[in-house]
């Protein structure tokens, strides 16, 4: 006689984002797991400090990257040359070990009819950086958002960053940085455009191809 089939257990319903007190309890648990006592004087305020730090470091989950690019300008007097913002500091955290990723981003685009304020480019980077990330995805998200909203003739993004999950733990290899790039439109299809972008990023504003 066949054994009666068990009913599949239902997953507990999601309760949404944990409360601040639940976050504090989780941090206390990790402190205990590390071997310390969260009740001692020096650690009493640590759970709240860590929770507030996480609110800042992962603020990108509450922000819309497209919103930062909506304020574009069409009165550009026919300007159709490359727009570059380089050496933008980026601070993110890897989704594998929650360790810092710190480096620089270089952005370029060839406007079709619209340009965007340069501060908006820096804010676009922060929206995606202030989430759990891998560098490859971060690079693509920045480039794709700029391409989708501005509809330029091309977009180029280069990210050069140090991963602390590699330098301060694991293999402990210092002095190593990771470089990723995403080239769209003219930056992918036109070698001269791509070379000009790379020359300016690597050699300065006067390193334009003749």
Question: pLDDT digits over 118-176, tens only?
Answer: 999 999 999 999 999 999 999 999 999 999 999 999 999 999 999 999 999 999 999 99
63 is catalytic: no
Handedness of CA 194, 197, 199, 201 (dihedral sign): negative
pLDDT band, very low/low/confident/very high, at 1 (cuts 50, 70, 90): very low
User: 71-203: what CATH class?
Assistant: alpha beta
CA nearest to 99, candidates 32, 181, 164, 180: 164
Those residues with Cβ within 8 angstroms of residue 135's Cβ, 6 or more apart along the chain or in another chain: 92, 101, 159, 161, 163, 178, 180
96 is catalytic: yes
Which pLDDT score is estimated for 10?
A: 47
163 is catalytic: yes
Residue ranges of E strands in 95-139: 100-110, 115-116, 132-133
Which residue among the candidates 21, 96, 136, 209 is catalytic per the annotation? 96
Pair of tokens at residue 103: 């480096």
pTM, entire model:
0.86
95 is catalytic: yes
Q: In a 3-state reduction of DSSP, which class is residue 81?
A: coil
- Residue 54 in contact with residue 22, Cβ under 8 Å? no
Question: pLDDT digits over 114-125, tens only?
Answer: 899 899 999 999
Quick one: how far is CA 77 from the chain centroid? 33
Which residue among the candidates 135, 136, 196, 209 is catalytic per the annotation? 135
Domain ranges of the chain: 20-57, 71-203
56 is catalytic: no
Which residue among the candidates 93, 163, 182, 196 is catalytic per the annotation? 163
Which residue among the candidates 93, 94, 106, 196 is catalytic per the annotation? 94
């Amino acid at each position: 006689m066949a054994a009666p089939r068990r009913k599949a257990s239902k997953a507990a319903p999601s309760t949404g984002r944990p409360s601040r007190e639940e976050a504090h309890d989780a941090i206390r648990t990790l402190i205990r797991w590390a071997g310390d006592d969260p009740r001692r004087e020096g650690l009493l305020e640590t759970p709240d400090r860590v929770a507030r730090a996480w609110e800042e470091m992962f603020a990108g989950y509450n922000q819309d990257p497209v919103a930062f690019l909506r304020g574009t300008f069409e009165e550009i007097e026919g300007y159709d040359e490359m727009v570059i913002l380089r050496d933008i500091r980026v601070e993110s955290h890897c989704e594998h070990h929650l360790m810092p990723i710190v480096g620089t981003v270089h952005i370029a685009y060839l406007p079709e009819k619209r340009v965007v304020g340069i501060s908006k480019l820096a804010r676009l980077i922060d929206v995606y950086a202030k989430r759990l990330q891998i560098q490859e995805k971060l690079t693509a998200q920045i480039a794709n958002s700029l391409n989708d909203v501005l509809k330029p003739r091309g977009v180029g993004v280069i990210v050069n960053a140090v991963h602390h999950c590699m330098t301060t733990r694991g293999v402990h290899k210092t002095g190593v940085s990771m470089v990723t790039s995403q080239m769209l439109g003219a930056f992918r299809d036109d070698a001269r455009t791509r070379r000009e972008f790379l020359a300016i990023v690597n050699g300065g504003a006067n390193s334009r191809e003749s």
